[in-house]
């Protein structure tokens, strides 16, 4: 026998929101528009309700239509048309999740919590939910993962600062990893999720209380995770996120093949190192599964199928390009003649003391590069120490510069136009009364940004200040940190034994 269904007008004070409804957020502006429509036309579509399980017979629980119920309350309606059905708790949850959550205005996080509640009830799994809503199993899995987001990420997600693509990527990480990606690394002025907005190196609160920041793209976030979050197979849901790796590692276990950690980078980043676990960098392994190694942004592929050998082990890419992949590699640099023959021959030649002219040339080039790097680092340090004095001299030069020169400097970077007002309000330039004051202050602040973050590009900043303001930065740097004098070689007479040997 079909359950009894009634349609009746129910007093608003007798209606109560459902505690199991996964939808918790309602846009105030949209709700006000609906309330205005209710005042004019009333409720056009009845609410779906049931007798309240914990109330009197005259009390009802709103199963579907809570937004209309809230609009009726705001519109001060006395009664609301309702369809009354006798429903179980599971039927209520199914209606609220399967039907209501497919609306466009439902937040993905609320959708995720609805699916999680259904699975907790015990009657549904991912496959059945996917079948009910007409989506793929991967879609349902990604939504369910969103309940794993830490509070900081949940809040910015609900506030609309990040999209569902960002949230899905972050939800696949452990809570400490999420916190690191969102908050930034200790040695950096940026995070993996946010990029500074309006030219600021570090996000900070603006006049409206919102942070002066913008999210990176989803692809940029994925690259950051690949580079700075170490892949840990034992802590990852391989079956759903990396099915090919799940299969490869399962086969390796069955065949009793050793598993090693590898990276396509030339050097492992400090943040991705793991105590007690060796990670083979790109110079220490070669692909050995017969497949072609794909070309990456920092990895030159040969385009030829890799060679197989008897020394191969299972390599898991734990950081960098291809993070999460698993395939056979050879790390036997001292005994595999299939992959490492040329390197083995080179080691033997060097061990015998046979240094070629090419070796000597390369050693000289290496020494020259190291000397140049050391010189550049010394110049950067000297520049950093002189920044306060350079800044003072720059501001003096700005005050004395012609207006047209300042205008040309300011307009060289058109992307900063929208940030000029905010910069001037924050900048310590005193009271700004005229357009000329504003222009000079804006240019000075623009150069301040260059000086504070220009040590790695100090030569460009030096040339720019010289060309536009006539400021000799090198002279100021030498004043703060004098350049060390080079030791001169003393010319002396040659010893008799040396003359005899030359003769």
Residues classed as catalytic: 66
Q: Could you count the other beta carbons within 10 Å of the beta carbon of residue 69?
A: 22
Phi, then psi, of 237 in degrees rounded to 5? -75, 80
Q: Is the separation of the CB atoms in 64 and 47 below 8 Å?
A: yes
Q: Are residues 197 and 190 in contact, defined by beta-carbon separation less than 8 angstroms? A: no
As a whole number of angstroms, the distance between CA 149 and CA 24 comes to 17
CB neighbours of 81 closer than 8 A, spacing ≥ 6? 7, 8, 9, 10, 43, 46, 47
DSSP 8-state assignment for residue 30: H
What distance in Å separates the CA atoms of residue 170 and residue 156, rounded to the nearest whole number? 12
- DSSP conformation class of 271: G
Distance (Å, whole) CA 97 – CA 254: 42
Q: In whole angstroms, what is the distance from residue 263 CA to residue 272 CA?
A: 10
Rounded CA-CA distance 458/446 in Å is: 15
Asked whether 16 and 56 are in contact (CB, 8 A), the reply is no
Those residues whose C-beta lies under 8 Å from the C-beta of residue 499, and which sit 6 or more positions away, are none
Are 392 and 479 in contact by the 8 Å Cβ rule? The answer is no
3-state SS assignment for residue 397: helix
Q: Summarize the chain as % helix, strand, coil (round to 5).
A: 50, 10, 35
266 SS3 class: coil
Answer whether 410's CB lies under 8 Å from 369's CB: no
Report CA torsion sign: 255, 258, 262, 264.
negative
Contact 53, 8 (CB under 8 A): no
Tell me the DSSP string of 109-131.
HHHHHHHHHHHHTTS--HHHHHH
- H, E, C per residue of 129-159: HHHHHCCCHHHHHHHHHHHHCCHHHHHHHHC
């Amino acid at each position: 026998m079909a359950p009894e269904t009634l349609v009746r007008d129910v007093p608003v004070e007798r209606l109560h929101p459902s505690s199991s409804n996964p939808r918790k957020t309602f846009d105030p502006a949209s709700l006000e528009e609906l309330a205005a429509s209710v005042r004019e036309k009333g409720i056009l579509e009845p609410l779906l309700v049931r007798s309240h399980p914990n109330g009197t017979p005259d009390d009802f629980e709103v199963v579907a239509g809570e937004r209309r119920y809230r609009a009726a309350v705001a519109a001060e309606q006395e009664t609301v048309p309702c369809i009354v059905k006798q429903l179980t708790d599971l039927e209520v949850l199914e209606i609220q999740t399967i039907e209501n959550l497919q609306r466009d205005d439902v937040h993905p996080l609320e959708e995720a919590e609805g699916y999680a509640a259904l699975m907790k009830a015990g009657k549904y799994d991912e496959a059945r939910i996917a079948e009910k809503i007409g989506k793929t199993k991967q879609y349902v899995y990604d939504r369910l993962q969103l309940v794993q987001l830490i509070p900081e990420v949940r809040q910015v997600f609900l506030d609309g600062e990040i999209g569902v693509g960002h949230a899905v990527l972050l939800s696949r990480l452990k809570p400490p990893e999420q916190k690191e990606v969102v908050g930034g690394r200790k040695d950096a002025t940026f995070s993996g999720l946010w990029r500074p907005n309006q030219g600021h190196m570090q996000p900070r609160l603006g006049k409206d209380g919102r942070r002066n920041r913008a999210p990176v793209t989803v692809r940029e976030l994925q690259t950051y995770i690949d580079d700075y979050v170490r892949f840990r197979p034992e802590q990852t849901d391989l079956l759903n996120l990396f099915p090919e790796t799940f299969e490869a590692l399962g086969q390796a276990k069955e065949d009793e093949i050793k598993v090693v950690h590898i990276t396509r980078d030339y050097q492992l980043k400090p943040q991705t190192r793991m105590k007690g676990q060796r990670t083979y960098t790109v110079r220490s392994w070669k692909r050995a599964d017969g497949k072609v190694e794909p070309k990456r942004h920092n990895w030159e592929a040969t385009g030829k199928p890799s060679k197989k050998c008897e020394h191969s082990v299972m390599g898991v890419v734990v950081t960098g390009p291809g993070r999460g992949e698993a395939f056979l590699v050879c790390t036997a640099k001292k005994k595999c003649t299939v992959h490492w023959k040329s390197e083995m021959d080179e080691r033997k030649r060097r061990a015998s003391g046979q240094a070629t002219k090419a070796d000597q040339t390369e050693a000289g080039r290496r020494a020259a590069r190291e000397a140049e790097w050391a010189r550049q680092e010394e110049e950067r340090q000297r520049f950093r120490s002189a920044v306060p004095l350079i800044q003072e001299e720059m501001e003096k030069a700005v005050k004395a510069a012609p207006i047209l020169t300042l205008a040309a400097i300011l307009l060289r970077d058109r992307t900063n136009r929208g940030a000029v007002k905010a910069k001037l309000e924050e900048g310590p330039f005193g009271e700004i009364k005229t357009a000329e004051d504003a222009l000079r202050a804006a240019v000075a602040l623009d150069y301040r940004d260059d000086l504070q973050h220009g040590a790695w590009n100090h030569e460009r900043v030096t040339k720019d200040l010289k060309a536009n303001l006539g400021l000799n930065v090198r002279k100021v740097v030498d004043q703060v940190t004098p350049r060390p004098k080079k030791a001169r070689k003393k010319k002396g007479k040659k010893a008799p034994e040396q003359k005899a040997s030359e003769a």
